[in-house]
Amino acid sequence: MQYRDLGRAGLQVSDIGYGAWGIGGAGGGWVGAEDDESLRALERFIELGGTFIDTARGYGRSEELVGRVLREHRDEGLIVATKVPPKNGEWPARAGVPVEEAFPGDHIRASLETSLKASGLDAFDVVQFHVWSDEWVGNGDWLETVQALKEEGKLRHFGVSINDYEPENALALIRSGAVETVQVIYNVFHQQPEEQLLAACHEHGVGVIVRVALDEGGLTGRITKDTTFEEGDFRRTFFQGDRPAQVEQHVQALADDLGIAVDEVPDVALRYVLSHPAVSTVIAGMRTVRNVERNAATSDRDALPQATVARLKAHRWERNWYRG
């Protein structure tokens, strides 16, 4: 496993992180996770040198499972991040909605206290707002609350999870100096963060946590025109209609262009994201030991040749399927 700086936070994190949304069960929007296998996967991730784990209050039982494992590995340099959901329950944050409706100070504190209780941990290394709007910079009492919680030792660093496919909607926050990390969707298909966000993070020492690097499974090579998902799994909507067929076509075109097999695409996709120097870590969903071992192996491989990175630029495919 390779390691990188999490911006100016003073933390070193594994470049492949553990995205713990999928292990939270149906309460978090995923179907099919088994606690025993999830716990084995987390243990294997740590055994292979993984140090960064990302969870959230809104991920079903994820915080509970993550906390159970982390309590067995105290003082081993593990870094855990969680997220505070918006009080108004709106994903993503809408323009014109005041921050007092989404992240008032008392809500931030109550949510963090609930997360600490659920996980059995004393503090989180990174606490992130689960949505963000740059209209909120300089408004509300959220910043004072975050600072107070830092002083109380309940969180160490503050970040935000940027709205889906809105990478420019955090530039003002980054330039304000109030944030230490941002989490953003970035992958071979969604290359928009390269336009402004990543350079701004590099300039201001903000750690970049990449999510959806495999396009919710689209870049795993396992989504085909015949793929379906169970009721209650958010991917049933994400990959509705003819979308699986579209994904299959785009992934096959990518594989053909590079002269690789489809099952090699996820490794290339992760290495594409890691090729950008502003990226600190990529959180991949890993509900099985096999997933962990495959993604951890990516960390040990050489960087993608620049010629391959340049070739992948042609496979940009911008769209937002979270909107139904």
- The Cα 161–Cα 170 span in angstroms is 9
Residue for token pair 């201001």 = 204
In a domain, 161, yes or no: yes
In a domain, 208, yes or no: yes
Question: Would you give the DSSP letter of residue 94?
Answer: P
- The Cα 132–Cα 148 span in angstroms is 20
What pLDDT shows up at residue 103?
A: 98
In a domain, 240, yes or no: yes
What pLDDT shows up at residue 34?
A: 77
Strands 12-14 and 3-5: antiparallel
What pLDDT shows up at residue 247?
A: 97
Give the pair of three-digit tokens for residue 273. 């994201």
- What Cα–Cα distance (Å) separates residue 159 from each residue in 104, 124, 190? 16, 12, 21
Q: Are 65 and 73 in contact (CB under 8 A)?
A: no
Give the pair of three-digit tokens for residue 42. 């987390």
Ramachandran category for residue 144: left, alpha or beta (phi over 0 → left; psi -120 to 50 → alpha): alpha
In a domain, 75, yes or no: yes
Q: What is the CATH number of the domain that holds 12?
A: 3.20.20.100
In a domain, 319, yes or no: no
Q: Where does 103-211 show beta strands of DSSP type E?
A: 124-129, 155-161, 181-185, 207-211
- The Cα 291–Cα 165 span in angstroms is 26
Which residues constitute the domain of residue 256? Answer: 3-314
- The Cα 76–Cα 207 span in angstroms is 21
Q: How many domains does the chain have?
A: 1
- The Cα 14–Cα 215 span in angstroms is 21
The Cβ of residue 290 has, within 10 Å, a number of other Cβ atoms equal to 12
Q: Are 278 and 198 in contact (CB under 8 A)?
A: yes
In a domain, 320, yes or no: no
Residue for token pair 């298909």 = 189
For the chain, 324 residues long, give each residue's pLDDT as a single digit of tens.
999 999 999 999 999 999 998 888 655 554 556 789 999 999 999 999 999 999 999 988 999 999 999 999 988 999 999 999 999 999 999 999 999 999 999 999 999 999 999 999 999 999 999 999 999 999 999 999 999 999 999 999 999 999 999 999 999 999 999 999 999 999 999 999 999 999 999 999 999 999 999 999 999 999 999 999 988 888 899 999 999 999 999 999 999 999 999 999 999 999 999 999 999 999 988 889 999 999 999 999 999 999 999 999 999 999 999 987
In a domain, 14, yes or no: yes
In a domain, 321, yes or no: no
User: Count of residues for the chain?
Assistant: 324
Q: Are 94 and 66 in contact (CB under 8 A)?
A: no
Residues 156-173 as b or e (16 or more Cβ within 10 Å = b): bbbbbbbbbbbbebbbbb
- The Cα 208–Cα 206 span in angstroms is 6
| HSE, side-chain direction, 13 A CA sphere, residue 146 | 20
